[in-house]
Structure 1
């Protein structure tokens, strides 16, 4: 029976890991006890918690969240072949602030999405998950959000949010294309637009468009 409430989630976790108390869970996730209590009250487990715990303990993320399928990815692969698509979360970070982050394609783990749902967004093989750092895109995107990025979408559409690579920096911004110029806009009015033109455009890469975002509530 499918169950996404906190108590069922925690019981599954307790049986297959060395986590036996909510205090241990908080330490494993690097959050305060209050955050765990709030999640328990709301009942919805943050996607980032599911991802981190499933990767750390080699658990099937769909099973950990809902109880459907087998606990281990290798056990559930055949049973749910075609029903779910596993999307990689990559180590490259999306900067939504002023910081500079090294890009990288290292896979940190996988997150399961229903194939019919994610196929409505695009080709699952073109999708990756990345984490947002910084506050320049608030309130639309907040630090700690995990975004689903369609790497096949390179054409800039007005108002779209894209992952943009500028030299060794990866940023997530609203992008405006002008003749001979690209403008990166932040939703947070504390940040000024970034204007790129001339030789700078040679180092600008559109990595893909953001098509979905998870939100962890604190």
Structure 2
């Protein structure tokens, strides 16, 4: 996880964070010393229009921050807020691990973003933002056995419709590349302005969203010909729960 603290002894306050896509993009250009948005587009492997779209929509895709972290060790938190270390120096960490005696070596890790979007499990959450809140570290070999790290997102669950499998405030790992339906598996599904977490089943001409807490939540059937407002985002492949 990437964490940071602000302020210091004697109550010193940090200057207000300059947030928003335009500030993030300006920090990227400054840190890389590339000068123009066209050069940034080439660096990210996207069109120049994608940079302009990010600024107009005030949303920088999480994939860009992850790529810049891996390729240039840029700290995603600094990019988003202007606070903290500009570089995380992952290259130095990797070199230290490689050169250390075998007994002292640490596992190598990849970092997955926890986004602000919450998966509604009966709580009616409409938080769908892909803004990165923080990062969680996963052992690289394990994570790659599940899929590509670029397709992974962490989200919190709101509500208890998937209890006892998933409880309120659990964190789940969603693989966005797995949006082909496997009957009985758990998926993140966008419905109108809400993202829900459900098991998926099929009936002739229908998609069925099933809650594990069937005592209070009935299965929801959606006609297959009327799914313009429904999108299967990805499959839940892992979950984490705090002991309360």
Structure 2's unaligned 5+ residue stretches are: 8-76, 78-84, 95-106
Contact 1:100 1:168 in 2 (8 A): no
Structure 1 segments (4+ residues) deviating >6 Å: none
1:77 equivalent to 2:105? Answer no
1:116 equivalent to 2:141? Answer yes
Instruction: Label 1:159 to 1:152 Cα distance change in 2 as closer, same or farther (>3 A).
Output: same
Q: What's the offset of the Cα at 1:79?
A: 3.6
Structure number with greater Rg is: 2
Q: Which residue of 2 aligns with 1:146?
A: 171
Over aligned residues, Cα RMSD in angstroms? 2.6
Q: Distance in 2 between matches of 1:212 and 1:74?
A: 29
1:215 equivalent to 2:228? Answer no
Q: How many residues align?
A: 155
Q: Which residue of 2 aligns with 1:197?
A: 223
Q: Which residue of 2 aligns with 1:131?
A: 156
Contact 2:123 2:158 in 1 (8 A): no
Q: Which residue of 1 aligns with 2:67?
A: none
Contact 1:181 1:201 in 2 (8 A): no
Q: What's the offset of the Cα at 1:217?
A: 1.1
Task: Please give the residue correspondences for 1:15-30 in structure 2 after superposition, counting only pairs within 5 Å.
Answer: none
- TM-score, length basis structure 2: 0.58
- Deviation readout 1:159-204 (Å, 9 max, x if unpaired): 1000001111100000112332110000002110111115531111
Q: Which residue of 2 aligns with 1:94?
A: 119
- TM-score, length basis structure 1: 0.64
